[in-house]
Structure 1
């Protein structure tokens, strides 16, 4: 593999033990970066050498992670805010309580805000750094019955990312957003299996039904985690040195609008 300018770079990836987060971590390690991943639970392969446990949905959890990271590295060169999920009940606006809305913001927006606030001073001090916020195409196509609060939180994340980039890009820190569509993670596969069981159908039929609920995917399949990882790796590398303040969508053509 050609040198991508990532050798020795200190990288923190939130939500980095599964799915796209794990694929990004594996890809950046292959590029020579030093990578620490964080999540609430340890990796399934029990490799905890480069893992820091943290519940980033709370201020205390973020503070504990920042303290542990400072003790190990002092700071980072690259921060990938990948953690996020939707745990709210389906049923539209009436099914969502204040607690549901707060939880979606605490998982999908505030971890990035708090970690940026903790790690940006070090990046600004060295005059260099890259931050990637992982959003979602649902910010542009909210499914009101299933993901209203999640979609709103991801929309806020993208808006925040844009404003942050305007502030810190002149000082040497690039800020970017990557917004995936449907990614074929283990969690997504389990969802498809549940849908198939509920409908009494097979996996392929349930998968097609899920893709159809998004309006269809012109590429005919979900993204692979490794494809998201390739995009992120390019964006944090020196090859993308002039890119900042931009959202990159990777959805196989799902979004029907420009």
Structure 2
């Protein structure tokens, strides 16, 4: 056994020979997922709208594509087939929100369309391009990254994001019913607050805007979530470890369900 960051055990070469597409794989949680899979032997293709980031894992094939569009998803799917010769595992991590604060009245149709395209339709489209080949081959794994906001929405600035993630969870369940009997596993992961570079930037914006300390800004986010019983947000590597487990043969009987990783944020059963 080898060990990854945080002394979490992993099987060396666990993903050797596996051909994997990861969306959102150039930063934050997606980048952590890519590092985890590559470290275990996977061949990985991911996409970005811009140039290759300096911290992306070596050996990863990066495709320039905007996955918020149907054309971008098509470009990634075609490139993945060309580079990998097929796809065994598809991991959707892409997501986020650029909506302004101000509740539902601050969101026009264009903003709703943007949030839905990024957080829901990017997965739907890429599944449409890549899952049929998995079905034809009788095997494969699809993992969707939802959010606890699908059941615990924050209305001020992420209402459209929360609605899109709720739809993604429902879509994921429906897809699992359709393709599970044909050999393709479908699982969803619902993270809470993950402390990525984007989260750090949010803390800084809150601190600067309210003229408070970084600790006070972090506490304000915790308060808006109703607190995190574990006392901290998750690290990207912790979410990546859950996704790696669910993508692996160790989880071969896990299908059609959603795993929450939120430090206990959701207060109900």
- Work out whether the TM-score is over 0.5: yes
Q: CA RMSD in A?
A: 1.4
SS state at 2:22 partner: strand
Question: Which of residues 137, 142, 148 in structure 2 aligns to 1:126?
Answer: 137
Do the aligned partners of residues 215 and 46 (structure 1) sit closer, same or farther apart at CA in structure 2, a change above 3 Å counting?
closer
**Partners of 2:150 and 2:162 within 8 A in 1:** yes
69-78 or 174-183: which moved more?
Answer: 69-78
Q: What is the TM-score when the length of structure 2 is the normalising length?
A: 0.92
Q: Tell me the residue number matched to 1:166.
A: 177
Matched, 1:22 2:35: no
Question: Which of residues 140, 151, 168 in structure 2 aligns to 1:140?
Answer: 151
Q: CA deviation at 1:70?
A: 2.1
Gapped regions of structure 2 (runs ≥ 5)? 3-10
**Relative contact order, CA 8 A, sep 6+: which one is greater?**
1
Task: Please show how residues 89-104 of structure 1 align to structure 2 within 5 Å.
Answer: 89-104=100-115
Gapped regions of structure 1 (runs ≥ 5)? none
Q: Tell me the residue number matched to 2:50.
A: 41
209-218 or 31-40: which moved more?
Answer: 31-40
SS state at 2:143 partner: strand
Whole-Å separation in 2 of the counterparts to 1:74 and 1:54:
19
Superposed CA deviations along residues 62-105 of structure 1, whole A, max 9, x for unmatched, are 11122222221232100001111111121111111111111111
Whole-Å separation in 1 of the counterparts to 2:40 and 2:89:
13
Q: Tell me the residue number matched to 2:5.
A: none
**Partners of 2:193 and 2:233 within 8 A in 1:** yes
Q: What is the TM-score when the length of structure 1 is the normalising length?
A: 0.96
241-250 or 4-13: which moved more?
Answer: 4-13
SS state at 2:208 partner: helix
SS state at 2:47 partner: strand
Whole-Å separation in 1 of the counterparts to 2:240 and 2:55:
22
